[in-house]
Amino acid sequence: METVKDKFLRYISYDTQSNEDNENQPSTEKQLILLKLLAEELKGMGIADAAMDEYGYVMATIPSNLKKEVPAVGFIAHVDTAPDASGKDIKPQIISNYNGEDIVLNKGKGITLKTSDFPEMTAYKGETMITTDGTTLLGADDKAGVAEIMAVAEYLTSHPEVEHGPVKIAFTPDEEIGRGVVKFDVRKFGAKYAYTMDGGAVGELEFENFNAASTKIHIQGSNLHPGYAKGKMVNSIIIGCELNGMLPVEQRPEFTEKYEGFFHIIGFKGTVEETTIQYIIRDHDMQKFEAKKKMMQDVVDFLNRKYGEGTVTAEIKDQYYNMRKMIEPHYHIVAIAVQAMEAAGVKPIIQPIRGGTDGANLSFKGLPCPNLFAGGHNFHGKLEYVPVESMEKAEKVILNIIKIFAER
């Protein structure tokens, strides 16, 4: 059997970056290469119904080998990597018996993974660390989750003596751009409950997340020769800076934590004539979330009164909502995850997600779906890393959940 480490290293060799500017499903054709491979590997394990549909969703069922009926439980991970950093030509570094000190990722470019910046690294002293070479992201978000689910699938199909109920498996595209399960057919998937393997450090268990919205701002200026600009020029860049300055500084991501929401500017492209700005808006509390969206619109309205109607336009779109209210009526699935972690020697860390997962939208589609750790750190950037032992523990937790469902 191939280890979860070997599966992970193989999967990250595929560039699967999604593209939020493309409205197709999936947003990039290259995601389909890995998705097709996963469907073929599942079929090769003897899972007869493994298939990829027209939207890139891979679904498969490991049938129950029990005489009694138990609920079907699903495990889901996404294959795409974030647009924030390149996922092409990843060159992983494997550090065996990590010494608990700084890790030089790229000596030539002076890129170092520092314990002073990330003190949590020292908890993995003595383990095997997989890092980037400082030029790309690693892809542990979420190919660690993919590898863990695939390792469990291979184990179960290779060990028919292990008793289990129906196990459902799914891999999705485009999670990183908020469209991961827009066309996901929950009824077809067939699980009563599911878990996304898309969390970070060992022990993370999350059943509440941000309410989320995206905002695209367009500012129309008026350009002419600066020598003759008095009273005539409207510099859209200046208005864009003014707009950003009107949002509360203390509500930026770098100043928030826990249940605190934020406005996050993620793109700014401008000339005197025309500027576009992109934001994401996040808050766990629905009332505060709505207030943040209103504040953004109020700022836009103020600038239009100041510079002329139509100068600034805003497109504010909801992306997903806090899944807590959908999961709390089924809290036993959280309790099962806690039990499974403890049986694997993992201390559960129940906390809100300062982000979102496919599980949020799936929960609102009728499939309660908490999020479990996959083991990685520093997602979406060139300092991403994952300890091999963390992936191995996640694999054990999945198996324990399956076992607990079989015993109920």
Interval 370-394: pLDDT, tens: 999 999 999 999 999 999 999 999 9
pLDDT band at 20 (very low <50, low <70, confident <90, very high): confident
- Same domain, residue pair 182 and 279: no
Q: What percent of the chain stands above pLDDT 70?
A: 100
User: Is pLDDT of 73 > 80?
Assistant: yes
User: Is pLDDT of 356 > 80?
Assistant: no
Half-sphere exposure of 191 (CA within 13 A, CB side): 29
Domain boundary among 319, 354, 387: 319
Structure tokens at 39: 């469907």
- Same domain, residue pair 104 and 224: no
Domain tally for the chain?
2
pLDDT number for residue 3: 97
- Same domain, residue pair 52 and 39: yes
Mean pLDDT of 48-56: 97
Query: Do 128 and 98 meet the contact criterion of CB atoms below 8 Å apart?
Result: yes
**Complete edge-to-edge strand list for the sheet that includes strand 312-320:** 262-270, 274-283, 211-220, 312-320
**Torsion, Cα of 12, 14, 19, 25 (10° steps):** -110
- Same domain, residue pair 203 and 233: no
* Residues forming the active site: 80, 175
The candidate with the shortest Cα–Cα distance to 138, out of 102, 190, 93, is 93
pLDDT number for residue 128: 98
pLDDT number for residue 1: 87
The model's pLDDT over 173-192, given as tens digits with 9 standing for 90+, comes to 999 988 899 999 999 999 99
pLDDT number for residue 195: 98
CATH number at residue 111: 3.40.630.10
The candidate with the shortest Cα–Cα distance to 52, out of 63, 68, 66, 41, is 41
- Same domain, residue pair 78 and 134: yes
Query: Do 390 and 341 meet the contact criterion of CB atoms below 8 Å apart?
Result: no
Domain boundary among 319, 344, 377: 319
The candidate with the shortest Cα–Cα distance to 374, out of 363, 385, 366, is 385
pLDDT number for residue 388: 98
Range(s) of the domain holding residue 240: 211-319
The model's pLDDT over 97-123, given as tens digits with 9 standing for 90+, comes to 999 999 999 999 999 999 999 999 999
Residue 180: partners with Cβ closer than 8 Å, 6 or more residues away: 78, 80, 172, 173, 174, 358, 361
- Same domain, residue pair 17 and 118: yes
β-strands 312-320, 93-95 pairing: unpaired
Mean pLDDT of 214-243: 96
Query: Do 27 and 19 meet the contact criterion of CB atoms below 8 Å apart?
Result: yes
Domain boundary among 302, 319, 336: 319
